[in-house]
Structure 1
Amino acid sequence: MNVKQMKVFLAVAESMSFASAANQLSLSQPALSLSIKSLEESLGGKLFERTTRTIALTPEGNALVPIAKRLLNDWQNSEEEIRQRFALQKGKISIAAMPSFAASLLPKAIKNYHDSFPNIQVAIDDVLSDTVVEMVSASQVELGIAFEPYQTKGLHFFPLFEDRFIAILPNNHALNAHASLTWEALLKYDFITLQRPSSVRAMIENALKEVNIDFTVAFDAHQLATVGRMVSEGLGVAVVPALCRQQAEEQGVVCKQISGPIVSRHVGVVCKSRSSLSVAATAMLDVLRKTYR
């Protein structure tokens, strides 16, 4: 039983005429009769009682009429929905983004996207950078925004910009008088950073290890927002991605550049192959790259 057979069946059932149905569907009468015969054979019995002058629905034919109408209506609605998705008039995409990006830069791209495609729903998960990559790998989201992964594991990475880490200090800290800070100066004070596993913490540890600087942590937390709040309360100093600058300043801390070793890493979009993305996700990828290039 297929869509064409349903259309033929309903045309005959509504007109009670093979000739009228064939004319309505632009089919020859033999082709229409063959379609009805094939439908009856596939279902296992007659749908019409036919004589040389009259045609009538069998009880089974009568039962099929509302079913056929419902099936055709569902088919037409499904076709229309897919057309709307291809035309970016309907759909939904899910994005995972590290909190520092989600809270500062992502809203601008979402606004640009919404201005162009107002009927596409966008769901955002703000999670740690490593979790972003995991969610994309597991197909929980189509797009992720994170620091460039050390291992792509079959994923693609589209860089947006390079983020250089900055120091954040309490607003009454002794180091605030300096325009730029050294790591040696920073590490004389209690240091606050993210808990392991964290790509931010790993980048800091690796950069300091390369230049043989000892790294002692006084406090660690799960979120950069918590790290910023702890600094603002005077518990110590921290080094965070420059993405956090606006949020940190809103918490009342002072932001400073750090002289070598410089810790930096590309921020970009993580996804599976572009060809595997939905039309809506492909459009979002283009908007993200255009917004932050």
Structure 2
Amino acid sequence: MNISPRQLRLFLALSESLNFSKTAEQLFMTQPSLSKAIRDLEEALGLVLFERTTRSVHLTASGTRLASMARSVIGEFDSGLERMRTSAEQEAQQLSIASLPSLASVILPATCGALERRFAQSRIAIHDCSNSASIQRLLNYQVDFALASVMPSHPELQYEELLRDQFVLLSCGAWRQRIADEVMLDELLRLPVISMTDASTAMRYISAAFLQRGVEFRPKMQLDQVGTIAGFLKEGLGVAVLPYLGMMPMVSLRGMKISSISDGPLRSVGMVTRRQGGTSAIARAAMEEIRKVVGALMEKHQGWLHPASA
């Protein structure tokens, strides 16, 4: 038995009007088409639903019972469709982004502000975590896209570089007077450098730059959080090497000096997306807003942030 909601709707309309021509006109169909649809329904059920004479149409007892059941079935069907529609609308305004903390703190606040003004019912989740954790969340379909600083080699992912981020040397207190505005990478070997841990992409860039020179870089101290590094700098316990975007939360700290590392590495910053599968409208809007925010940052911080490689 294969009965469609459309057949039940036609049956219910006819059961209320008990007039084939009137019902056909209301439903914008021909009377023969309506008659065939009712015959097909009767044959599928093995029941006679209407008594037809040349002058009138009446429901049979079976037709009366079916009308009651059909109203319940169609009502539940319509309610289910409405729940699905509402759920789809809510899901369409949900967004999840994974990002390195150093990128999330600088790029995503303005991005999310723009999205909330554009999508009134938006629900945005930000996962600030390591580069590898961000990529894994994307592969597990836990986020729509990721902000990262290393181009992933996974075949299911693609990378759009947004900018290249210069590494800088931060100093405070007594060290501020001893550090020039511009330093060379080799000078770091003679300084009490505080850096991120080996697990961070920032440290990997610096380590790789020294390994290219045949030197193993050994900082005085390695810490997980930029805020902790700032505390040690203010105490005069050393200087710090960080990518420019990573140190931007420290800019407002009193007495902090930024020196460029003229021959230091440039950190790639970009968006990672899945090659397969569609992207929601809010995710596409988020990526477009990120491009705008990055453009504004590059204009404001010229000399520290560089265009994406060709």
Shared fold per TM-score greater than 0.5:
yes
Counterpart residue number, 1:147: 149
Aligned length: 288
Matched letter for residue 74 of structure 1: G
Counterpart residue number, 1:263: 265
**DSSP 3-state at the match of 1:54:** strand
Counterpart residue number, 2:71: 65
Matched letter for residue 75 of structure 2: K
1:35 matched to 2:37: yes
Query: In structure 2, what is the Cα distance between the partners aligned to 1:189 and 1:27?
Result: 86
Does the 8 Å CA contact 1:47/1:58 hold for their aligned counterparts?
A: no
1:273 matched to 2:275: yes
Counterpart residue number, 2:212: 210
**DSSP 3-state at the match of 1:271:** strand
Q: Which piece of structure 1 moves more, 5-14 or 71-80?
A: 71-80
Change (3 A) 1:38 1:242: farther
**DSSP 3-state at the match of 2:147:** strand
Counterpart residue number, 2:175: 173
Query: In structure 1, what is the Cα distance between the partners aligned to 2:289 and 2:48?
Result: 54
Which protein is bigger by CA-based radius of gyration? 2
Does the 8 Å CA contact 2:145/2:273 hold for their aligned counterparts?
A: yes
Matched letter for residue 68 of structure 2: N
Change (3 A) 1:26 1:237: same
Change (3 A) 1:59 1:138: same
Query: In structure 2, what is the Cα distance between the partners aligned to 1:151 and 1:136?
Result: 13
Counterpart among 92, 104, 107 of residue 105 in structure 1: 107
Identity of aligned residues (%): 23
Would you identify which runs of 4 or more consecutive aligned residues in structure 1 move more than 6 Å?
none
**DSSP 3-state at the match of 2:251:** helix
**DSSP 3-state at the match of 2:29:** coil
Give the superposition deviation at 1:248.
1.8
Give the superposition deviation at 1:203.
0.9
**DSSP 3-state at the match of 2:127:** strand
**DSSP 3-state at the match of 2:98:** strand
Counterpart residue number, 1:48: 49
Counterpart residue number, 1:12: 14
Does the 8 Å CA contact 1:93/1:123 hold for their aligned counterparts?
A: yes
Q: Which runs of 5+ in 2 are unaligned?
A: 296-310
Does the 8 Å CA contact 1:274/1:282 hold for their aligned counterparts?
A: no
Change (3 A) 1:181 1:216: same
Deviations 1:144-195 (A, max 9, x none): 1111425253322222221111122333325554212333433334433333
CA RMSD of aligned residues (A): 3.1
Counterpart residue number, 1:158: 160
